[in-house]
């Protein structure tokens, strides 16, 4: 007797995407993940900054939290609109503002924070690489919680698989799939955070921009690898050379990351 593959899969832990609802007001796990990532990243940056370090103070880190939040939300949403579903949103422009219905792009949020950090540094006369390196260390925290929220929502699941830990996702049909969100949480989040924390205490951490380069390279490598197991978006599929959108958007990050790691530069005093 042949047992259907789906009966051998691990049951997906069905968790309500809404953590708490009071009347029309609802707190979703996805929103909580963003808030947790931003708050923990902010507190860790404040911990790293002692007194005034080349123009960057704990107070200025506090001020930048608002800038970072806007960069993540606006950049993430616009990135999703432009990179993933431009035809739909150009035909339905009012849908762009319905963020609570889902649809955020890491690469868009990343660009949003880059722009926010650049403008903030210019306004406050802060060394750009100083803030960029601090942001690079804490960014994996937000990535970890964001991917856990993706898993709870049962979205961005992996390709069909017969590995022992495969799961049948509510919106992924009847076949078991890779829990690719957990792969990303482990690699883009936990592992990359540990690598950056170790690098911060090494000689690499004293070279301005090196930690930023390491983050870019590490994220792109992790994302490109996990995309081999993640189900491509139905409305995009495979693109140039059989690559996914996530892999294509990671290529510039690899190039910039390698440049920042290899470029000649004085070490911070």
pLDDT exceeds cutoff 50 at 127: yes
Q: Is residue 218 domain-resident?
A: yes
At residue 269, does pLDDT exceed 50? no
Q: Is the pLDDT reported for residue 203 higher than 80?
A: yes
What does each C-alpha distance from 189 to 41, 136, 194, 226 come to in angstroms? 12, 12, 9, 13
The predicted structure's pLDDT at residue 237:
79
- The per-residue pLDDT for 3 is 40
- Please give the Cα distance from 30 to 54 (Å, whole number): 36
Mean local confidence (pLDDT), 222-229: 95
What is the C-alpha separation between 79 and 152, in angstroms, rounded?
A: 22
47-51, 64-68, 69-73, 174-178: least confidently modelled range:
47-51
Question: Comparing C-alpha atoms, which of 44, 246, 27 is closest to residue 147?
Answer: 246
Could you tell me if residue 267 is inside a domain? Answer: no
Mean pLDDT, all residues of the chain: 86
Is 67 inside a domain boundary? no
Phi-psi region of 249 (alpha: psi -120 to 50; beta: other; left: phi over 0): alpha
| DSSP SS3 for 158 | strand
Domain that holds residue 235: 5-49+129-262
What are 230-249's pLDDT values in tens digits? 998 777 778 888 899 889 98
Total number of domains in the chain: 1
Q: Give dist(CA 136, CA 25) in Å, integer.
A: 33
Question: pLDDT tens-digit profile of 24-41?
Answer: 676 777 788 888 999 999
- On whether residue 151 sits in a domain, the answer given is yes
Position 81 in a domain: no
Helices (H) and strands (E) in the chain, counts: 9, 2
pLDDT of residue 102: 64
* Torsion sign over Cα 126, 129, 133, 135: positive
pTM value is: 0.84
Whether 199 maps to a domain, the answer reads: yes
- Across 108-131, b (16+ Cβ under 10 Å) vs e yields bbbbbbbebbeebbeeeebbbbbb
The reply to whether 69 falls in a domain is no
Residue 99 located in a structural domain: no
């Amino acid at each position: 007797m042949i047992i259907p593959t789906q009966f051998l899969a691990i049951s997906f832990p069905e968790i309500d995407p809404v953590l708490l609802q009071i009347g029309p007001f609802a707190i979703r796990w996805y929103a909580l993940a963003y808030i947790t990532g931003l708050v923990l990243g902010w507190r860790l940056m404040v911990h790293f900054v002692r007194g005034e370090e080349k123009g960057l103070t704990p107070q200025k880190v506090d001020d930048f939290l608002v800038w970072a939040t806007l960069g993540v939300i606006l950049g993430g949403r616009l990135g999703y609109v432009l990179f993933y579903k431009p035809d739909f949103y150009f035909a339905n422009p009012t849908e762009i503002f319905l963020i609570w219905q889902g649809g955020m792009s890491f690469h868009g949020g990343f660009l949003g924070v880059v722009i926010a950090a650049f403008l903030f540094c210019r306004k406050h006369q802060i060394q750009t690489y100083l803030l960029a390196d601090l942001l690079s260390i804490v960014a994996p925290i937000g990535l970890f919680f964001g991917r856990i929220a993706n898993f709870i929502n049962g979205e961005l699941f992996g390709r069909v698989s017969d590995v022992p830990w495969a799961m049948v996702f509510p919106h992924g049909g009847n076949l078991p799939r890779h829990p690719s969100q957990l792969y990303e949480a482990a690699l883009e989040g936990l592992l990359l955070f540990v690598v950056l924390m170790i690098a911060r205490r090494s000689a690499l951490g004293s070279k301005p921009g090196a930690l930023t380069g390491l983050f870019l390279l590490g994220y792109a490598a992790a994302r490109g690898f996990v995309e081999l197991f993640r189900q491509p978006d139905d409305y995009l599929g495979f693109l140039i050379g059989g690559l996914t959108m996530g892999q294509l958007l990671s290529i510039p990050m690899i190039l910039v990351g390698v440049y920042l790691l290899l470029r000649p530069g004085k070490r911070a005093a």
